Structure 1
Amino acid sequence: MGLAFIFSTAFLVGLSGALMPGPLLTVTVGESARRGFIAGPLLVAGHGLLEGVLVLALALGLSSFFHHPLTSKVVALIGGFFLIYMAWGMLRDARSGRLEFEAKGTREEVAVTDGVPQVFPSRGLDLVWTGMLVSLSNPYWSLWWATVGLGYITLSLQHGDLGLLSFFSGHILSDLVWYSLVAAVVAGGRRFLTPALYRGIILACGLFLVFLGGSFILWGLRT
């Protein structure tokens, strides 16, 4: 199995995982509607940093920690509550009619009151940290790395550091391509978004995060 094969198969397997609906996809849709295209690459940057640390940890022999049932249980419970917390913020904004935009490098919030936009500054969330935390909140993410990911790491290490680099580059490139595409589509449609439609998108994303968070908590309690 050569380096090109490792890279290409890692890209395809990673893409198949990225295409599945999950917390990171939901947050990408919501944040791209708020902040534009840049939300996609920044979220993937945080996601990639976390995965890079995890790949190194697994390569150094820490796989037993990620295989431990208690690890998945704790990740599921904490992650579920974190997703519900994020969902609460999105649902609150959707209900209040507050629209958030990223313009010229600074973020602003626009509250629509009686059809009149009122602009005021907002600190907001750091998208890179959000990408890391949202990824970490998903117990299926840690399970994937403890099984499929660990298998790929073992095979790629037969080619040394170059093999590991080929695997990780193919894997993270699949995330970057897919989530950037999603961000581009969502951001490109912002010009057609009415306040009501925008609130509907945020509301749908928030409700889906509630569903995922609740599912993770139930999964963790039953594991």
Structure 2
Amino acid sequence: MTKLEKLYNSIQSLKELGVQLPDELIEETNRVEEEIIKNEVIPALSNTIEPVIQQIQRELLLIVEYVPDEPLQVKMTRKRSFKFAEEEYKLEAKKKQFKKEHTYTISPHTKSKKTNLVVSFPDGSTITNRFAYQTLCEVIDKVGAENVTPLGLVVSGVELVSLKEDDFYSQHKVKGGYLVMTQTSTQVKKNLLDEISRRLNLNLTVEISK
């Protein structure tokens, strides 16, 4: 288990126990998270992409935008060069250290194949999107977030639908200012929709597609 996984699991365990995290702990957690990303994740990522990048015979700046449960965005700017301050990341030193040790803090893994949701209503209408979280949010929108909230569904210690923004997990806004906790697997999203359908007597058919 990596340091990040240990950190996230610790936070999740506290939330599942109903512990209200104080501002000081949240701030310290964010600091530790940033340190791990800066000192371990970024150097490991740099080593992973370096063989591919070395095929390019020009200077360039790549911007990586990552939001949990959303597709990774990698963009190239028209700038010829952009140097991070040495005190900011010290990537070169970290890269050399990783090469000498021939190991990574982050274990290599095979990314699981993307899955999606298809939700069918009794009237014959269907909701499906490119990503499962979009389908979850759209179904909740159609059903009415105000109807789902009273069900009290909780995921990883966080309410599935709430008006309160969580300080740790990813949420997406739907109508009425409600927030939907979307940082779950496709299977969990299906289970949640099945539960919503059962308790609200919606007779939905929820399927996982690939």
TM-score band, normalised by shorter chain: under 0.3
TM-score (norm 2): 0.23
Larger relative contact order, structure 1 or 2 (CA cutoff 8 Å, min sep 6): 1
Q: Which has the higher strand share?
A: 2
